[in-house]
Chains A and B, each alone.
Chain A
Amino acid sequence: MAAKPKLCYFRGRGRMESIRWLLAAAGVEFEEEFIETREQYEKLQKDGRLLFGQVPLVEMDGMVLTQTKAILSYLAAKYDLYGKDLKERVRVDMYADGTLDLMMMIALAAFKTPGEKEENLALVVKKAKTCYFPAFEKILKDHGEDFLVGNKFSWADVQLLEAILMVEELDASVLSDFPLLKAFKTRISSIPTIKKFLQPGSQRKLPPDSHYVKTVRKVLQL
């Protein structure tokens, strides 16, 4: 019987959060090892498990996986969340990539100086409202289906919900002009596996706080 996937990262969102979401959405239980010290990190590097010396790291199916997008692609394919053919797959990739870009901006803003951070986060909200959310609202409008691609739940839906919730943390009114995205948010949030992940006590992580930023800086010597 296969062991649970084991995730190795800091105790926070960063580049691992999308992976946690996807596993949770697929109903896959996973374990987590949290990096708290420089020594832990150096040990990981010496062990040779980090291909390019970086986390996230996910051990599953007898493999040691690194590189966020590689891990996400693998999970999407494994749990049938990647569309049914190449043409659907490229759409899932386009949408997932777009939302990942947006979420990365938020993740990186945590490490800027207070003034820059505010500026960057304001830019994220602006981009969400003027560029990304209109694009997804249009996609949903054009086909009138419940999910972004192929009338079936996919990785793209998981990522979009994750992105919507993240941007709402910055600006609660951000969906006010996007009725279909509002409905989408409600719909995807009620999928049993996602509903469970959204409950307190799940492995979902909180927005980055000063303790998280301090830990990451210390471990990565930034």
Chain B
Amino acid sequence: MAGKPKLHYYDGRGRMDSILWLLAAAGVEFEEKFMETSKDLEKLRNDGSLMFQQVPMVEIDGMKLVQCRAILNYIAAKHNLYGRDTKERALIDRYIEGMADLNEMFIFLPITPPDEKGAKITQIKESTTNRYFPAFEKVLKSHGQDYLVGNRLSRADIHLVELIYYVEEIDPSLLANFPLLKALKARISNLPNVKKFLQPGSPRKPPMDEKCLAKVKEIFQLK
């Protein structure tokens, strides 16, 4: 019998958060192995566990998977969250790649130098309100269904709601002009697995604080 997936990363959001959300939404229990120091990362590298010397790495179904996109694709397909056919999948991919672009901005925000942070936050706000949120609001409006693709829950809904939570942490008012996105957020948040994940005590990670930032800089030897 297969063991639980094992997630290798540091105790924070970064590039692992989308994977956490997807596993949680799919109702998959998992274990987490946190790197605390650069030595832990070195050990993983020396073990040959990291194909391109990078984390995240997820041990699942006898494999050691790296590259977020590959990991997310695998989990989504395995748990039926990737559309019913090639065309639905292509649609989902289009949406989630856009979301990944926005997500990149959030991932790098905590390690942005203080004097550049203001500009970065402005960029996030502008991209959100002028590019991404309007696109997804339009999709929901165009078919009037409860989910982005194929009238059924897919990874696209999970990733988008995750992003909406991040955006609201920066500025809750940004969601104001997007009623359908607000409704999607409420609907997805009420799904039993997601509701459980949103509760305190779940593996969900808080925004990065100074302590975590110092740890990340040490682990990845960032300046």
Q: Which residues of A pack against B, CB within 8 Å?
A: 51-53, 63, 65-70, 73-74, 77-78, 86-87, 89-90, 93-94, 97-98, 101, 131-132, 135
Contact = CB atoms under 8 A, between A and B. Distances in A.
Contacts, number: 76
Interface in B126-161: 131-132, 135
20 contacts: A51-B98, A52-B101, A52-B135, A53-B131, A63-B87, A63-B90, A66-B94, A70-B94, A73-B73, A74-B86, A86-B74, A89-B74, A90-B63, A90-B73, A93-B69, A93-B74, A94-B51, A131-B52, A132-B52, A135-B52
Contact of B67 (A77, A98, A131): A98
Nearest to B127: A52
Of listed A65, A77, A87, A94, residue having the most chain B CB within 10 A: A94
B97 interface: yes
Interface of B: 51-53, 61, 63, 65-67, 69-71, 73-74, 77-78, 86-87, 89-90, 93-98, 101, 131-132, 135
A135 B63 CA distance: 16
A19 B131 CA distance: 24
A67 B135 contact: no
A93 B98 contact: no
A64 to B, nearest CB: 9
A93 B73 CA distance: 8
A68 B67 contact: no
Given A98-B51, A131-B52, A132-B52, A73 B89 contact: yes
B110 to A, nearest CB: 21
A89 B93 contact: no
Nearest to A62: B87
B148 to A, nearest CB: 12
Contacts of B77: 86, 89
A135 B48 CA distance: 10
A77 B86 contact: yes
Contact of B90 (A70, A89, A90, A93): A70
Given A52-B98, A52-B135, A90-B63, A97 B90 contact: no
Given A51-B98, A93-B73, 19 more contacts: A52-B101, A52-B135, A53-B131, A63-B90, A66-B94, A67-B93, A67-B94, A70-B97, A74-B93, A78-B86, A86-B74, A90-B63, A90-B65, A90-B73, A93-B67, A93-B69, A94-B66, A94-B67, A132-B52
